[in-house]
Structure 1
Amino acid sequence: MTRDQVEIVLVAAGGAVAVGALGLVAARLLRARSLRWQLVLVAVVSVVSVLVGVLGMARLMFLSNHDLGVVTLVATTAATVAIGVSLVLASAVVRWSLELRDQVRLVGGPDGVYGPDDAEGADDAGAARGSGVAGSAGPVGPAEFQALAVELASARERLAEARRREQALEESRRQLVSWVSHDLRTPLAAMRAMTEALEDGLAVDPERYRRQIGSEIDRMVRMVDDLFELSRIHAGSWQLRPEPLSVLDLVSEAVAAADPVARTRGVVLVGDVADGVEVVADPGGLARVLSNLVMNAIRHTERGGRVVVSATARGELVEVAVSDGCGGIARTDLERVFDVGWQAGVARTPERTEPGGRGAGLGLAIVRGIVEAHAGRVSVENRGPGCRFLVELPGLPGVPGRPEAVAG
């Protein structure tokens, strides 16, 4: 490197260092101000550093006053234009950041999840992923800002869905408290009346009154047990003790236990299980699932109807189905069947024709909780003369064989 080149580098570096130092001082003073001034400051430091270097070298070159003026005018004009462009870009960046700030404010706003003026934003949020827009605000600056806007729109959707689930759960809890209170108050009032009749000697058939009191007590005990079981499932404290189980044995036990009730109601109960089907599950939990589904099917099947419990292995899944003759469920209610406290009937008064009366609408909610705890899935559909409840569980694929009749 020649001496002239070294001198040029030193002059340019000296001017740039001096301007950069002043820029750092200015940046510290402006650190709490708008981003606009920070961005303009970067452009000013860059342009002025070049301008100082050019003017310094022009003086060292002993240019004439005319030439020096030309160089100065050209450099100053270029610096002015550059600073103007930086102002425009800085204003745009500030505007984009303000738009993002407005979108952030909409997340968790007072009106649900969306802000008060964002009724349309929820509908447009889904389109943000494909078009690079968030809500209804349109494109927001460079790619990084657009990506952030899309993430904000996605977060708003997730929060909205979480809020809806929370509200649905809260409504379900309120309904459950109301329904359980009613279902407990009814047998308590009946037992009080029968007890007073027995104490006053007004009971025409004391033995029947005692049997009825015992039946109501059993019903309340089952309801309290269901509530306790459901609370354990929802709290995550229900412990699974999985072990290899024969589905044929489980269905046989469930059918044998429910067959007397089915005969009393005039319902034909049949088990139809493929030979060799096995599943890894908690014995008590899966037995509870089958019992709840079978008893529910019997309860809602008309006299002379038929309830079929079937099971088969499909690849790595075991499917257990309970089909009844309930006449079907309204399409609007199919999604609510497994909700806590849901019952098909409108009346809340227990049916005396049924042993122990009706429950509190907790059985199917317990079924779903236990099945999902096994990493399985339960669903319902209208099929034939009634409904078909299908439980899908991870299992040990068996060798399909001749279906064996369990009972009926």
Structure 2
Amino acid sequence: MTDALLIALFALGGAACAGVLGAGVLRLVRRRSVAVSLTVVAAVTVTAMLAGTLAVAQAMFLSRHDLGVVTLVAAMAAVVSLATALLLGRWVVARSRELSRAARDFGDGGSFAAPPGQTTAELDALSRELAATSAKLAASRERERALEASRRELVAWISHDLRTPLAGLRAMSEALEDGMAADPARYHRQIRTEVERLNSMVGDLFELSRIHAGALCLTPSRMSVYDLVGDALSGADPLAREHGVRLVGGTVERVPVEVDGKEMTRVLANLLINAIRHTPADGTVAIAAQRQDGAVVLSVTDGCGGIAAEDLPRVFDTGWRGTTARTPPAGAGLGLAIVRGIVEAHAGHATVHNVPGGCRFEVTLPLTA
């Protein structure tokens, strides 16, 4: 065996012993500051070199003078290495603490702002991730506040909408009971109308609660959009005649879709009823269905005169009526929210935009393969 190979083996053995000892120390201090770990790594490096040198010296490959020189060099290297490790560790720890304080701020409800100054690539990447997370949390908090405000507003509005007809029903029932009604038949008809309105409102609330709870159970089946539109037009025709509004079926392609017929009929009925109620007499409400980019787009166009640009994003919000009036004709503001919920349950989306003389509601559904 050559001298070089023996020297290499002895040096490897001494360095390995130092490495094993350093690994044990690192395991013990793994929960301590990164500055301590860096110091241990620097110490292990120098100790491994010195251990290998001593092992070689014990094998009589080095003279006493050479051993003293190597030991002195290793000692100086150890001083410089440990000082560098301590400085680097303190800098990394300081940057980590600044990052922790910034993260604590946005965790307490504020926004994350990366601390100024240079940092390591890993801490810089962490700062970017924290900034992105902070933005998502801020958006989530804003949505939560808007949703909570919408729920409180809805409860107030529904309470008002329920209280008004109930008060009327109570007054009419008392008048009938006391024999004070001049036209009992008219009172009975009015009571029936109010009860149907209340029943419709409760039904809408139940449907909306199922949608929000994710409990809307769909039973999809393959059907033609042409049949859906035909059924919706037939159901809305009496209301259109009552309001003096013309219903027009535009281009309706015979496109197959996989939908829940009952729920999708409710979507089109809500859109048509909403369009008819907001279109003046002698106006026109048009419905169409066309294939577009791998989907089918059902549209309902009315003659309401258009919606204010600032209100367009709120049209499908729960309880939005487009007016501050709380009168019965304004409705409960649930129909369009139900439309959006049912359409999204079918993996589609609902939109609205203004057109000359009115607005157009569009429902986009995926085509059946």
TM-score computed with the length of structure 1 as normaliser = 0.82
Match of residue 75 from structure 2: 76
**Higher helix fraction (1 or 2):** 2
1:108-257 paired onto structure 2 within 5 Å: 109-111=107-109, 114=110, 118=111, 121=112, 135-138=113-116, 141-257=119-235
1:13 is displaced (CA, Å) by 4.2
The residue number in structure 1 matching 2:11 is: 12
The residue type equivalent to 1:387 in the other structure is C
Give the deviation of 1:142 after TM superposition.
3.1
The 1:192/1:85 distance shift into structure 2, 3 A limit, reads same
State the AA in 1 paired with 2:80: V
Q: Is 2:87 the partner of 1:88? A: yes
Query: Alignment partner of 2:291: what SS?
Result: strand
Residue from 332, 344, 355 that aligns with 1:383: 355
**Aligned residues between the structures:** 368
The letter for the 1-side match of 2:366 is P
Letter in structure 2 aligned against 1:386? G
Distance of 1:293 and 1:248 partners within structure 2: 16
Please tell me whether the aligned partners of residues 99 and 114 of structure 2 are also in contact (alpha carbons under 8 angstroms). Answer: no
**CA displacement 1:308-356 (0-9 Å, x = unmatched):** 11122224211111111111111111011101111012111213xxxxx
AA in 2 matched with 1:379: T
In structure 2, how many angstroms separate the alpha carbons of the residues matched to 1:322 and 1:279? 18
Per-residue displacement from partner, 1:236-294 (whole Å, max 9, x unpaired)? 22222222222222222222222222122121221123343332211101110111000
Q: CA deviation at 1:194?
A: 1.3
Aligned match of 1:401: none
Give the Å deviation of 1:205: 2.0
Q: 1:363 aligns with which of 322, 329, 335?
A: 335
* Corresponding residue number in structure 2 for 1:54: 53
Q: Whole-Å Cα distance in 2 between the matches of residues 136 and 324 of structure 1?
A: 50
Match of 1:339 in 2: 317
State the match for 1:406 in structure 2: none
- TM-score, normalised to structure 2's length? 0.90
- Identity percentage of aligned residues: 52
Bigger mean CA offset, 162-171 vs 69-78 = 69-78
Structure 2 match to 1:131: none
Alpha-carbon distance between aligned partners in 2 of 1:326 and 1:189, rounded to the nearest angstrom = 32
Q: Does 1:262 align with 2:243?
A: no
Cα pair distance change 1:95/1:253, threshold 3 Å: same
Instruction: Name the CA distance, whole Å, in 2 between partners of 1:307 and 1:236.
Output: 32
- Residue 387 of structure 1: SS of its match in structure 2? strand
1:280 and 1:20, CA in 2 relative to 1: closer, same or farther beyond 3 A? closer
Contact 1:55–1:71 (CA<8 Å) still a contact in 2?
no
Report the Cα offset of residue 64 of structure 1: 6.5
Provide the secondary structure at the position in 2 that maps to 1:238: coil
**Structure 1 segment 266-277 matched on structure 2, within 5 A:** 266-277=244-255
Structure 1 stretch displaced more, 274-283 or 180-189 = 274-283
Which residue does 1:373 correspond to in 2?
A: 345
SS of the equivalent of 1:312 reads: strand
Following superposition, the deviation at residue 30 of structure 1 comes to: 3.8
1:393 to 334, 343, 365: 365
Q: Aligned-residue CA RMSD in angstroms?
A: 2.5
Pair 1:71–1:395, CA change in 2 (3 A):
closer
Displacement of 1:93: 2.7
Task: Verify the 8 A CA contact 1:140 1:149 in the aligned structure 2.
Answer: no
- Please report how far the alpha carbon of residue 61 of structure 1 lies from its aligned counterpart in structure 2 after TM superposition: 5.3
Change (3 A) 1:71 1:317: closer
Decide which of 273, 276, 288 is 1:295's aligned counterpart.
273
Which blocks of at least 5 consecutive residues in structure 2 are unaligned? none
What pairs with 1:305-344 in structure 2 (closer than 5 Å)? 305-344=283-322
Cα shift at 1:80: 1.6
Q: Which runs of 5+ in 1 are unaligned?
A: 122-134, 352-357, 398-408
In the superposition, relative to structure 1, how do residues 25 and 327 fare at CA in structure 2: closer, same or farther (>3 Å)?
closer
